[in-house]
Amino acid sequence: MRIPLIAGNWKMNKSVTEARHFIEAVQGKLPTADTVETAIAAPALFLQTMLEANQDDVLKIAAETCYYEDEGAYTGETSPKALHEMGIPYTIVGHSERRRYFNETDDVINRKVLAVLRNGMTPIVCCDETMGRRETGEKIHWVVNQVSAALKGVSAEDAAKIVIAYEPSWAIGSGNSASSDQAEDGCYLIRQTLADIYSDEVANGVRVLYGGSVRPDNIAGLMTRDNVDGVLAGGSSLDEQSFIQLANYQNL
C-alpha cells in the first residue's frame, strides 16, 4: 500500500521566524505518518530552526534542492551529506523553476538524484510538462524522457524508494489546477514509465504526486484517483491553516 504524501514546497518565501511559527502552529494538527505522511520543503537556511520547532516529529522537514557533490569548493551550494546529517529525509530535485531559472539540465538532475540517494535521503523528483507540449501531443515523450533521464544509473532497489511529482508548468502558480483526469493521466504515464524501465513491482511501490495549484477546495478530487498518491503544493502550503486542511483532506 502506498501511504499518501502531502508535501508543501515553500520556494523562496517566509523568514526564519515565520518558518518557526508555522511549525509550532501545525504541531498536533497533522495526521500520523502511518495514515498520511506530511512534509514541508523549505530553504536550507530555515531547516535547523524548523527541525528544532518540530516537537512532535510528525511533519517531515525537507530541502528544496541540493548539490550533486557531497563536499568541496562549490561556493554557495548545499551539501546533501550535510542535509542527511541534520536529519532531513527528503529533497526535491529538478523542480521546473530550477530547470528554468537555474539552467538545471537532465544530466544535473540525474546527478542530484544519485547524490540524494547516496546520502540516504529520498528525492522528490519533479517532472515538468509545458502547455505547448501538452497541446501538440508531445507530452508522452516529454514526461517519459524526463523520468528516464533523472533515473539513469539508479538501481531498482533505489528506484523503489523515490517519489516523483508530476507538475505541469501551466498549472504551477496559475490558479488553474489540472483536472483530476489530467492529473491521473500524468501520474499514470509516470508509473508506466517506471514499469517499462524497472518492473511492475517497482512502479506499483513508487509514490507519484501531482503538483500545480492544489488547494483545500480541489485536493479531495485529485486524491480520489488511483495513480495520484499525494500532492506537492506551493502557494497553499504557505498558510498553516491551509496546509492543515490539505493534510486532512480525507475529512474535507
Ligand X SMILES: O=C[C@H](O)COP(=O)(O)O
Instruction: Tell me if residue 42 falls in helix, strand or coil.
Output: strand
Q: How far is the CB of 137 from ligand X (least distance, A)?
A: 24
Q: Count interface residues toward ligand X (CB under 6 A).
A: 14
DSSP structure string for 26-38: HTT-S--TTT-EE
Interface with ligand X, residue 212, by CB under 6 A: yes
Place of cell 517519459: 144
Cα separation, 83 vs 61, in Å, equals: 10
* Of 248, 252, 249, nearest in space to 28 by CA: 248
Q: Check whether 155 is labelled as a binding-site residue.
A: no
Choosing from 37, 64, 95, 104, which is the catalytic residue? 95
Does the active-site annotation cover 37?
Answer: no
Rule CB under 6 A: say whether 128 interacts with ligand X. Answer: no
Residue closer to ligand X by CB (options 65, 227) is 65
Is 233 a residue that touches ligand X (CB under 6 A)? yes
**Residue 59 binds ligand X, judged by CB under 6 A:** no
3 state SS of 200 = helix
The span of 21-29, 44-52, 131-139, 230-238 binding ligand X (CB under 6 A) equals 230-238
Q: Is 235 annotated as a binding residue?
A: yes
**Contact call for residue 62 and ligand X (CB under 6 A):** no
Tell me the closest approach of the beta carbon of residue 92 to ligand X, in angstroms. Answer: 7
251 is in an annotated binding site: no
- State the minimum distance, in angstroms, from the CB of residue 7 to ligand X: 8
Binding mask 84-103 for ligand X (x = CB under 6 A): -----------x--------
* DSSP per-residue codes, 128-175: EE-HHHHHTT-HHHHHHHHHHHHTTT--HHHHTT-EEEEEEGGGTTTS
167 is catalytic: yes
Beta strands in the chain (DSSP E): 5-9, 37-42, 60-63, 90-93, 122-129, 163-168, 207-210, 230-233
3-state SS class at 119: coil
Using CB under 6 A as the binding rule, whether residue 235 contacts ligand X is answered as: yes
C-beta atoms surrounding 119 within 10 Å: 18
Residue from 31, 94, 123, 211 binding ligand X (CB under 6 A): 211
Q: Does the annotation flag 234 for ligand binding?
A: yes
C-alpha cell at 15: 523568514
**In terms of Cα–Cα distance, which of 199, 200, 120, 102 is closest to 162?**
120
Q: Is 234 in the site for ligand X (CB under 6 A)?
A: yes
Taking the complex as a whole, the smallest distance from the CB of residue 25 to ligand X amounts, in Å, to 20
Q: Any idea which residues carry the catalytic annotation? A: 95, 167
Residue list for the binding site: 9-11, 173, 213, 234-235
Which stretches of the chain bind ligand X, using CB under 6 A? 9, 95, 167, 172-173, 211-214, 232-236
